[in-house]
A and B are shown apart, each in its own frame.
Chain A
Amino acid sequence: MGDDNSYDIRTILTQMREEYWQALAEEESEAKETLECLVFTLGGKRYAFETHYASEVIRIPKLVRVPAVQSLIRGIFNLRGEITAAIDIRPMLGLPQPEIGPTGRILVVRGDNFATGILAEAAHGVQGLCFDDFEPVAAGSGIKTQFLRGHFSLEEGSVILLDMEALLADPELVAGEA
């Protein structure tokens, strides 16, 4: 510092600006390509939501039934000291409810108000889903679309993207409000 010759504020600023724009451009192009999603099975079909909603995936522990609440709240369990609900969202999506066997998992998700556990028939891990394969939900397609954003058509079949924002804000998830 202090040496006027080696310190050209203009050059440094230009450089910084370029780096900034470059970083932005990189981020954008990346985001355009894929969406990081947790993929799982509900009602025999493959579903997904963005990973930032998920806080963990666990095997199904003993669920304690809660009296006098709607049937989609299947019980509560002990998540390291926090009492957490296990919910079966399949009826909300108009899906059949096959028995959840040994491959069953609980996807712990964090909404604005509470953390809750979504029961799934199986979990398939995190995948980067390509936006080029994405089709937004078609209106009037006959199925329950309230909580869907669209689907990804992949080689191994389609993956439906859930609208977690809408799902987690639905009063049906809150005991006594359905």
Chain B
Amino acid sequence: MANRYLEIFCREAEEHLASLQSGLLVLEKNPARTDLLHELLRNAHTLKGSARMVGLADISAITHTMEEQLKGMERGERKVDAPAIDLLLRGADAVALITSALMRGTTPELDVERFVAEYERGELGQHISAEPKEAQPEAHADTVRADVKTLDHLVNLVGELIINKKRLEAKLERLKEIGYALPDQHAAELATFRGELEEDVLYLDYLIQELHGKAMGLRMLPLRTISDGLERLVRDLAQQLGREVQFQIVGQAIEMDRVLLEGLKPILIHLLTNALSHGIEAPDARAAAGKPRRGTVLLSARHQGNSVLVEVRDDGRGMDPAGIKAAAVARGVLDPREADAISDEEALYLTFRPGFSTAEIVTDVSGRGVGMDVVKKNIERVKGSVTLSSEPGSYTQVTLQLPLTLSVLDALIVACGGETFAIPTTYLQEIVKVRAGEIDTLGSGEVIKVRGATTPLYSLPGMLGLPERRDAGDAPLSAVVLKHCDQRIACIVEAHLGYSEVVVKGLGKQFRNVRFLFGATILGDGNPALILNVPDLFEAGRGVQRAPLSAEEVQAAQRRLKVLVVDDSITTRTMEQSILVSQGYQVVTAVSGEDALEKSAQEQFDLVISDVEMPGINGFELTRALRSTDQYREIPVIIVSSLSRDEDKRQALQAGAQAYIVKGAFDQGLLLETVQMLIG
């Protein structure tokens, strides 16, 4: 979370806290003034929403409880007396403590977790004012702090060492050749010398391996560091969706590169959310199907060779291949003729295609039609692969295979178009020899049979736009068979030059948009070799058959789309605005429903994003008002709200909104994906 947003939030919070405080004190003196309650409610509600936007779960939990208490008072179910007011004030105090600690960048002098839990139960519990903390025993006396940058630098230096060792090995080879050319007497002497040198290099190799292992180890963190938050996520989601779920985590101690773990977290959130919303059935439905009422979701991690396998498995309704095919056809992701040709197993992978979703409406929970697509993208980013397996009515299992680290890869070195490329072995199925006679034509492309399966055949230099050297005649060609998700392609290369452990180097900012490449490495001869980004090759392969965009589509893509953001909270407005602007949308903000109606009448927007609870007309009323005009009858509206009940979502849809995002689940990607799905 950018500090900028936190700062805006803290400033906004100060205002709301001040008005909560003064309002509550007036109310305490005049309990009859229930007219004050509405304003207090709005303060608490806005604070809750903004806290969720910036990911401050504790503040959002506290203000949620305050909101519930105030609602109780408003409905007359709760007495407006001193203890009740006291409880509310304590909530406000706690929020003030947390925000001021945030501003200072320190930890609040409050056991926040305990406070939140007690506060939810309506217990006054601990006193907020300075409670001396128990002296923590110094458990980590034998550890030191290290800067992450220093660690990364250390790993890079070890990478340089490996490259240098490779150069030494290449020189040893050269020395052998020199020896052959010498007269026997000198050759013997040189051979002895070379033997000794070889031993030294071997020992150096051993030391570097050890050093590399230790250096990498410093960057490793256990899965536990990200799985703690997941339990809470599953619990909250289960409650929200009315599911009974037992969540198990196996292999919390499995360690992975910090960078990889960071990439893994959003993937797991996505998969678990899917497991709960699409997988696990409602308790009654489960009972009717003869299953235990309580579903099980299992997250497990284990080592396999040089990689980590992470599995998310649920014993829910499973994935129905026929349903998926039908949905894919209905959404235009798949041609009806293609659908018949697809096996049940392949059908599962259709869920990874962009624009696919089996859920009927767009909600914040899942079924945004972009979820699995994003999972796939994220896995590609960390050089992993994903497999799906499912039995309708019994289970769904998603298995992620991830490398232990991204800084060193096992790769196959190939020659292609006069250059040398490294292909990460995670994508490599096998190397085959192909004779011209074995190549068939299918449609506009060429195919070969690999173990009986028809596999598209491309020329790697051709795909990369490099000069091709394809000799006529029946000399066998070398091809590498690459796998990615459920797909296989074969690429012709000039030669394969063996396997090697390669140190991955970034290409730097000048190449940040480059296609086909994941990085570069430096070979034994000191020259760089490019590391191929295999998923791009699959894209390119598909692109061959795809029709080019029509002139209209191109024009539409070039026009900057205009979005109207309506929210009374400045935190929310600023966040949404900067998220959208960063993606090239043009954004206008409105502070209320009335303001929005005025602005939308003045200029045409392509999309409206609105909060629900605002002073004046609310988001639902705004949506209805927009729908009643010719200008905005068809324009998509996204409701972003901290109201998470199904009833609210229904209301939003009845009012004519296309999507509903709950602020609690708010993240930048979610908003963007939804916006992109609606208006591109």
Contacts and interface: CB of A to CB of B under 8 A. Distances in A.
Given A64-B529, A66-B517, A81-B163, A113 B511 contact: no
B464 A68 contact: yes
A65 B419 contact: yes
Interface stretch (B74-82, B141-149, B500-508): B500-508
Contacts of B33: none
Interface string B501-535: 00001111111111111011010001111100000
Contact of B466 (A62, A65, A85): A65
A83 B513 contact: no
Contacts of B419: 64-65
Given A76-B520, A81-B163, A114-B508, A175 B528 contact: no
B527 A66 contact: no
A174 B515 contact: no
A97 to B, nearest CB: 19
Contact of A114 (B160, B510, B517): B510
A26 B182 CA distance: 65
A83 B505 contact: yes
B520 A177 contact: no
A78 B516 contact: no
Given A64-B419, A81-B522, A113-B509, A69 B514 contact: yes
Contact of A67 (B466, B509, B520, B527): B466
B117 to A, nearest CB: 48
A176 B513 contact: yes
B515 A83 contact: no
**In the complex, which of the residues A61, A81, A84 has the most CB atoms of chain B within 10 Å of its own CB atom?**
A81
Given A85-B511, A114-B508, A65 B418 contact: yes
Interface residues of B, number: 30
Contacts of B512: 174-175
A62 B509 contact: no
A173 interface: yes
B132 interface: no
A65 B517 CA distance: 12
A78 B514 contact: no
Contacts of A176: 511, 513-515
Given A68-B515, A174-B510, A83 B528 contact: yes
Interface in A78-131: 78, 81-85, 113-116
A82 B520 CA distance: 10
A66 B505 contact: no
Contact of B510 (A68, A77, A116): A116
Contacts of A65: 417-419, 466
Nearest to B515: A68
B105 interface: no
B158 to A, nearest CB: 12
B498 interface: no
A68 B527 contact: no
Contacts of B510: 73, 85, 113-114, 116, 173-175
B473 interface: no
A77 B163 CA distance: 15
Nearest to A77: B528
B465 interface: yes
A19 to B, nearest CB: 41
Nearest to A116: B510
Nearest to B525: A62
B519 to A, nearest CB: 8
A67 B536 CA distance: 12
Interface string B165-187: 00000000000000000000000
Given A81-B163, A175-B514, A176-B515, A66 B509 contact: no
Interface in B408-425: 417-420
Interface string A47-79: 000000000000001101111110001001110
A94 B163 CA distance: 40
Contacts of A177: 513
B465 A66 contact: no
A82 to B, nearest CB: 8
Nearest to A85: B510
Interface in B571-617: none
A120 B511 CA distance: 21
Given A76-B528, A77-B528, A81-B522, A66 B514 contact: yes
B464 A67 contact: yes
B528 A64 contact: yes
Contacts of A64: 419-420, 520, 527-530
Contacts of B514: 66, 68-69, 175-176
Nearest to B156: A81
B163 to A, nearest CB: 7
B530 A175 contact: no
A54 to B, nearest CB: 17
B666 to A, nearest CB: 31
Given A83-B507, A113-B510, A68 B528 contact: no
A85 B522 CA distance: 14
A138 B217 CA distance: 61
Interface string A158-178: 000000000000000111110
Nearest to A67: B464
A116 B507 CA distance: 11
Nearest to B511: A175
B506 A83 contact: yes
A75 B509 CA distance: 15
Nearest to A83: B520
Nearest to A69: B514
A84 B507 CA distance: 7
Contacts of B513: 174-177
Contacts of B505: 81-83
Contacts of B506: 83
Contact of B465 (A67, A77, A113): A67
Nearest to A65: B419
B30 to A, nearest CB: 62
A78 B528 contact: yes
Nearest to B519: A83
Contacts of A83: 505-508, 519-520, 528
A101 to B, nearest CB: 21
Contacts of A81: 160, 163, 505, 522
B544 to A, nearest CB: 14
A151 B418 CA distance: 41
Contacts of B418: 65
21 contacts: A64-B528, A67-B417, A67-B516, A67-B517, A68-B515, A68-B516, A69-B511, A76-B507, A76-B520, A81-B505, A82-B508, A83-B528, A84-B508, A85-B508, A85-B510, A113-B509, A174-B509, A175-B510, A175-B513, A176-B513, A176-B514
Given A66-B514, A78-B526, A78-B528, 14 more contacts: A62-B527, A66-B530, A67-B417, A68-B464, A76-B520, A77-B527, A78-B522, A82-B508, A83-B505, A84-B508, A85-B511, A114-B509, A175-B514, A177-B513
Q: What 4 A-B pairs come out closest when comparing CB atoms?
A: A176-B513, A67-B464, A175-B514, A114-B510
Interface of B: 160, 163, 417-420, 464-466, 505-517, 519-520, 522, 526-530
